[in-house]
Structures are given as C-alpha cells and as structure tokens.
Structure 1
Amino acid sequence: MRRAEDATPPATPPLSSPDAVIQAICKGIGSGRYVPGQRLVEADLTRELGVSRGPVREALKRLAAERIITLTRHKGAYIRSLSREEVRDLLQNIEVLLGLAARLAAQRIDQADHRQRFEEVFDELLAHRRRGLSFAYLEQRDRFYGVMIDIGGNRELPGMLPATMVQLLRQQFQSYDQFTNPPRRFREYQVMGEAILAGNPKRAERCTRLHIRSSRLAIQSLPDAAFYGNGG
C-alpha cells in the first residue's frame, strides 16, 4: 500500500472543448475583443480556437442559457446588449454584494498581510488617475476589488458576483461620459479605500454602495439607444 506522502496529487483536468470556447469568449468580452451587438461567426471561432463546430455550437447554447449571448435560428449568435431593467437589477445586486465585501475587508484589514496587500492595489489604482482610463486601469480595478473580496474572507462572494455580465455592462456603456466620469470615480475609490484602511466597516460599506449606486443612476439616465444593439 502506498503511503500518503508518496502519492502524486491528481493533475488538474484540462478544459473540455466547449468549456475552452466559453472561456475564450468570456475573456474576449473582458478585453474588448467582443462587444455588445457583435456577431459571433462559427467558422471564425473554429479557426481561431482550433476546435470543430460541435464544441462551438455547444458553447454558444450554454452562453445563450446564461444570457451572455443572443442565439437565434436565422440571425446567428450575437453578444447581448443589456436592457435598462437588466442593468438596474444587476447593479442593485452588485451594490449589496460589494458593500458586504467592503465591510468584511474593513473588519479584517489588520489581520495577516491584509493591510499591505490592500494598500498596494489601492495605491496602484489611484495612480491611474494621472494615467487616464485604459485597459490597464480596468485590470487594476479588477485587482482592487479582487483583493478587497479576498481579505474579507467570505468564500461564497466570488461565485455570487456575475463577472461576465459586469464585463458586458462595462463594454456597453464605456463610451458614455455619464458612466465613465473619471473624476467622480476616483474620488469614490479614494473614500472607499480610506474607509477600509481606517478599519471602519460601516463607512466602507456605505461608500462602496454609494459608488455602485451612482453608476447605476448614471446609466439609468442614458437614452434608450444605449440599451439596444444588434444583439439586444
């Protein structure tokens, strides 16, 4: 009988072909490779990803079930545009979840290396105030929220946040000044981060919820044309 210490840990199973296609499309949405209203052509996906049409079709069906794309018999597959009601519901949920994450992070900021980790991502995020909005800024913002959630210690929160839907929302509205509004955004990041570093859970939650709420209200003020693209 083999001893436990001699056992080789099981290798991480490779992604199935449909899972690999789904992952590639979701990453493409995050990077701006795919945007709301854009058509997804099966032949292009098979060539770019090196898979057959079967896995591509399975992936598209699953993404349609998750409301990431619109899939119709005659028009094909399109990256979805979110409706006004979907944006409202999505951001109301995110407001509550990220508010909780900020509260937990403030409560645990002085445990282990939490303060150092958070200060690093917070300072780097604020540095983009001088550099302007870019893909690097979006990546740093995701790291900021990721560390905030991680140090909060709630292991269920990451799975509850609809990451790909959030990326869809960002891509759909990033050209509107009412949504991006860099001065407002960085002011709000600063008060959020300072509240967490001060170990003030109530203020951290309130500031974070107000930040998400202000984004929701800004989007809700946009004209109807902002909510319906070719894939809406």
Structure 2
Amino acid sequence: MTAAATAPLAFDPTGRRADALRLELENAIVTGRFKPGDRLDEQSLADRFGVSRTPLREALGQLAATGLVTLMPRRGAFVATLGFRDIIERFETMAALEAMAGSLAARRIDGPGRRDLEASLQSCRDEAERSDSDSYYLANESFHLVIYAQAHNAFLGDEARRLHQRLKPYRRLQLRAGARVSVSLAEHERIAEAILAGDSASAERELKNHILVQGDRLNDFLAAFERSTSA
C-alpha cells in the first residue's frame, strides 16, 4: 500500500513547509492513515500537498531521524515497523532519563529556569482547558524541555531530547487515551512543585511515574495503539 492510496490530508502551509509537512505526516502515521510498512511515495505526496519534492524530502529525513520512517536506497521511504514491545522499552528508558533530569533540575534550577518552568506549566493549564490533546502536547513538550535544560547536564539533555523526539508520535498518541490530558496536567503540577521546592527525590519519582506506561495507562495506551494500527 502506498501513500497515494490513503485519504486526503489537510495541510496548513504556514511556517516552514518542511516542518508543516513533517507534522502532518507524523500525525497521519500515528493515527493509522499510513500504516507500518506503507511506502510514502514522494511524487504522490508532493502532488497532494502542492509542494516541490525538496521540502518533502526534508520532512521525510526529519521523520527518519525520529525512527518513524525508514529510508531505503533506491526504494524510497516507508513507515517504520515498530512493535509495541519496542515502544514500551523506549518509554522505560525515557522514564529513567527524565527522572535523572528532574532530580538534577531540583538541585540546579536557576532564577530564569524557575520562571520558564512556571510559564510552561501555565501553558499546559491553558491548553488542558481547551481539551485538545494535540495542542496540549506542544505545551507538554515545552515543559519537559525546560526540565532537561535546568538539569544543566549537556550530555543528559542531548540524550533526553533525542529519545523524546523518537517517542514524540507515541507520546501524542498516549494523550488521546482516556482522560490522559487531565491526569498529565496533575502530574505536571506535582513535578513542578517538587523541582521548585528543591525536592530531588520527589522530582525523580514523579517524573519516572509520569513517563512509565504501566497499569491502567498501559491498557489504555495499548487500546489506542491497536486502534491506530488497525484503522
């Protein structure tokens, strides 16, 4: 099955075209419009979005960097096949990295960092009120990036951002399961409180639990994942 066989995609051309294309293709993959193994035909996608193949190739390259797309010489781009166990293992690793970042941030956060964390938390509150999981995800992402920065450990920050990028589609998908947005916001409140109080142990624990996909959250995520891949 090729991308040309899927339903038309809405495309907002504002901003950089490659970035807008990446977001649209990422969303189409996560929601199951493009399935694992599907070939993403460059010409068909370029015609559909009304763009040249240059920004499209850049977008596909960005998706390949996250592991969502596989680029095969002389064959083209394909939606990567990542199994559920692979995803869970990455979430487990992400939980460990974020827990470490939270612990360090609680000890090292500076004045501007405190303001950034409070501002990003307020953005999460504002977006949660809109009940739009995708817009909330963007605020959620900023919240976590502030924590990475305030750990003041460049290597840890680079590794956390890299894995965060690879898991981005699945973190967005997770927010669509049940009442996850409201639960996520409550967890953010506890994380920020611990970091701002300098409580490294609580920050570490809260961040680890926030990222781990387990218990009822695992069941909800599995159901959402199965819907996205069988739709």
1:170 is aligned to 2:171: yes
CA contact (8 A) 1:102 1:196 kept: yes
Unaligned 5+ segments in structure 1 are 1-19
Q: Which residue of 2 aligns with 1:4?
A: none
State the Cα deviation string for residues 123-171 of structure 1 (Å, max 9, x = none): 2212333332343211111111111111221112343132332122135
1:51 is aligned to 2:61: no
1:204 is aligned to 2:203: yes
CA contact (8 A) 2:133 2:172 kept: no
1: CA distance, partners of 2:78 / 2:65: 13
CA contact (8 A) 2:173 2:224 kept: no
- Which structure's relative contact order is higher, taking Cα pairs within 8 Å and 6+ residues apart? 1
% identical equivalent positions: 23
Aligned residues: 204
- 1:219 is displaced (CA, Å) by 5.3
Report the secondary structure of 1:199's partner residue: coil
Letter in 2 for 1:86: D
Distance 1:175 1:80, change over 3 A: farther
1:91 is aligned to 2:86: no
- 1:209 is displaced (CA, Å) by 0.5
Unaligned 5+ segments in structure 2 are 1-15
Report the secondary structure of 1:115's partner residue: helix
Report the secondary structure of 1:229's partner residue: helix
1:128 is aligned to 2:127: yes
Q: Which residue of 2 aligns with 1:3?
A: none
Letter in 2 for 1:113: P
Larger Rg: 1 or 2?
1
1:6-85 matched pairs, under 5 angstroms: 26-29=22-25, 32=27, 34-35=29-30, 37=32, 38=34, 39=38, 40-47=40-47, 48-51=50-53, 56=57, 67-70=67-70, 77-80=77-80, 82-85=82-85
Q: TM-score, normalised by structure 1?
A: 0.69
- 1:100 is displaced (CA, Å) by 1.1
CA contact (8 A) 1:103 1:202 kept: yes
- 1:45 is displaced (CA, Å) by 3.9
User: Superposition RMSD on alpha carbons, in Å?
Assistant: 3.7
